């Protein structure tokens, strides 16, 4: 009797267990994607007029403090290209009574990180620190910001590093392609088409860096962004203490011209003899960041080349095996800005790979299957929260709100607006911005091996350039 009872119990457990097993016949259904619910950033102004934006995040006892400067690489004076990047690089190489090595040691002892850098339209000094060491970290950060020494010995050392990096560019097909693309799309008469070279790097003197610092590190051109385990009550006295001496001043007017759209199909091949792969970059101007089509463009680009399962990657990588990957992206500046699709492909299939790009450009302008459209929207919506995971992420996202003049509540409404994008809006975006007949095509590769395959496509006139046509003469070190 005992054995029978055990057998019955086991049978009931077995049946019940199988009844609860998950259905693996297909992928699990997605739950409803919800909007974010971020608090409104706290804004206040220091006594000297320096603006502060704060978002509290109390899950970890860490703080991120960024000084955002609204001047970047594309604001460099003519003949001094690369100056913003160089100045920000030198900024933390000695300040106040500290040498570069002493600063590095002090920062490390605090368990903090302080970095400097520049982007196309902005520059930053950023500090990551434990709450317990925040006051000491802010003291070092403010010293770097307010009292950089710009020592000539450091200028000379970093110039040599820049010149060495410039020389390495001649062997980097991706850099050659990017430089050629910008020069040909914008021309060297535009700030978007000019880059640092041997002459401009050698021309930097201490007075240039001092002038950059004096002009741009002023209250009207700057914002302190704080994210982490602090409140306004706890952080404001510290910011007043260490940044009260930040200079008052207005932001300077910056010449940021609106570029002209690409007309016709232009093809340029930059010869790199012996190259094992060809770098293909194709594009034209996309929308500005404030364009009403922004959400539809993001969904469309996800489908075209903005994710691993995108059409470009599936075609060139999975279907044909031409490359390890292919992608596309929109820059979204405050002016119309580049759309670029690119890949590094095997030399012997350069022509066919280029043809597949054109095929995908034309296909994205036709009706999109419902399931593919849903995947594109869900990819954007579900991945959006990662922009707010850490204090560094959060501060960076708040910085973009300032640069692009986005309203409060923008981040909380993003998911809903992405999910509301229609097929008609995606097709309209594709038809406006992905026009294969009006594209700039740049290819860096071995001309002797790829020319015939490119000409066979009959896509238009093919122009041939050397690497020095793009980068200029190699620097003599």
Q: Delineate the domains of the chain, giving CATH numbers in brackets.
A: 42-243 (3.30.830.10), 266-471 (3.30.830.10)
Q: State percent of the chain over pLDDT 70.
A: 94
Mean pLDDT for the stretch of residues 56-72: 97
Instruction: Say how far apart CA 416 and CA 202 lie, in whole Å.
Output: 51
Per-residue pLDDT at 411 exceeds 80: yes
- Check whether 25 has a pLDDT greater than 60: yes
Average pLDDT over residues 110-125: 97
Q: Is residue 469 scored above 50 in pLDDT?
A: yes
pLDDT above 90 (res 471): yes
Q: Can you give the pLDDT at residue 343?
A: 98
310 vs 328: CA distance, rounded Å: 9
Q: What is the mean pLDDT of the chain?
A: 94
- pLDDT of residue 220 exceeding 50, the answer is yes
Residue 267 has pLDDT above 80, yes or no: yes
Lowest mean pLDDT among 27-41, 153-167, 345-359: 27-41
pLDDT at 24: 74
pLDDT > 60? residue 8: no
Q: Please tell me the pTM assigned to this model.
A: 0.91
CA atoms within 13 A of residue 333's CA, in its CB half-sphere: 18
The predicted structure's pLDDT at residue 13: 47
**What are the distances in angstroms from CA 213 to CA 50, 221, 247, 319, 407?**
16, 11, 10, 52, 29
Residue 12 has pLDDT above 60, yes or no: no
In the structure, what pLDDT confidence band is assigned to residue 189 with cuts at 50, 70 and 90? confident
> pLDDT value at position 477?
82
Mean pLDDT across 338-343? 98
| Mean pLDDT confidence for 10-36 | 63
pLDDT on residue 227 = 98
pLDDT of amino acid 17? 52
For residue 26, the model assigns a pLDDT of 67
pLDDT of residue 5: 53
Please, which pLDDT band fits residue 9 given cuts at 50, 70 and 90? low
Q: Which two tokens stand for residue 22?
A: 């998950």
Distance CA 99, CA 97 (A): 7
Q: How far apart are CA 444 and CA 177, in angstroms?
A: 6
Q: For residues 207-228, give the mean pLDDT.
A: 98
Instruction: Give the residue-averaged pLDDT of 173-190.
Output: 94
Output the pLDDT for position 448: 98
Closest CA to 303 of 313, 315, 311, 295: 311
| pLDDT tens profile 13-24 | 445 555 566 667
- Within 10 angstroms of residue 155's Cβ, the number of other Cβ atoms is 20
pLDDT of residue 311: 98
The predicted-structure confidence for 37-59, as pLDDT tens digits, reads as follows 888 899 999 999 999 999 999 99
Residue 465's alpha-carbon distances to 267, 279, 427, 439, in angstroms, are: 11, 14, 36, 18
């Amino acid at each position: 009797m005992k054995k029978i009872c055990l057998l019955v119990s086991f049978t009931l457990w077995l049946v019940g267990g199988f009844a609860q097993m998950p259905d693996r016949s297909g992928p699990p259904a997605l739950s409803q994607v919800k909007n974010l619910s971020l608090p409104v950033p706290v804004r206040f102004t220091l006594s000297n007029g320096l603006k502060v934006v704060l978002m509290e995040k109390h899950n970890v006892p860490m703080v991120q403090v960024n000084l955002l400067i609204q001047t970047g690489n594309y604001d460099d004076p003519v003949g001094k290209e690369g100056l913003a990047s160089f100045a920000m690089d030198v900024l933390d190489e000695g300040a106040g009574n500290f040498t570069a090595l002493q600063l590095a040691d002090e920062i490390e002892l605090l368990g903090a990180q302080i970095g400097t850098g520049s982007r196309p339209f902005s520059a930053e000094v950023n500090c990551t620190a434990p709450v317990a060491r925040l006051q000491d970290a802010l003291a070092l950060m403010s010293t770097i910001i307010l009292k950089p020494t710009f020592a000539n010995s450091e200028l000379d050392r970093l110039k040599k590093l820049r010149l060495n990096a410039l020389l390495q560019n001649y062997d980097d097909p991706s850099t050659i392609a990017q430089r050629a693309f910008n020069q040909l799309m914008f021309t060297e008469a535009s700030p978007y088409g000019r880059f640092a070279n041997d002459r401009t790097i050698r021309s930097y003197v201490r007075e240039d860096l001092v002038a950059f610092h004096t002009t741009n590190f002023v209250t009207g051109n700057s914002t302190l962004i704080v994210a982490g385990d602090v409140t306004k009550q706890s952080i404001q006295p510290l910011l007043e203490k260490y940044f009260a001496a930040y200079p008052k001043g207005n932001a300077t007017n910056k010449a940021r011209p609106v570029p002209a759209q690409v007309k016709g199909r232009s093809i340029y091949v930059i010869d790199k003899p012996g190259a094992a792969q060809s770098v293909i970059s194709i594009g034209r101007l996309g929308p500005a960041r404030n364009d009403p089509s922004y959400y539809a463009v993001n969904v469309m680009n996800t489908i075209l080349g903005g994710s691993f399962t995108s059409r470009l990657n599936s075609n060139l990588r999975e279907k044909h095996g031409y490359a390890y990957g292919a992608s596309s992206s929109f820059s979204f500046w405050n002016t119309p800005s580049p759309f670029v699709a690119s890949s590094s492909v095997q030399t012997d299939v350069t022509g066919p790979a280029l043809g597949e790009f054109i095929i995908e450009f034309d296909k994205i302008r036709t009706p999109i299957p419902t399931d593919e459209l849903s995947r594109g929207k869900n990819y954007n919506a579900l991945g959006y929260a990662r922009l707010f995971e850490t204090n560094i992420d959060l501060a960076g996202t708040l910085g973009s709100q300032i640069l692009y003049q986005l309203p409060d509540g923008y981040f909380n409404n993003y998911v809903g607006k992405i999910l509301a994008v229609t097929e008609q809006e995606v097709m309209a975006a594709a038809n406006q911005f992905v026009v294969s007949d009006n594209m700039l095509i740049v290819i860096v590769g071995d001309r002797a091996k790829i020319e015939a395959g490119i000409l066979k496509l009959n896509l238009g006139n093919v122009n041939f350039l050397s690497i020095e046509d793009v980068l200029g003469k190699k620097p003599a070190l």
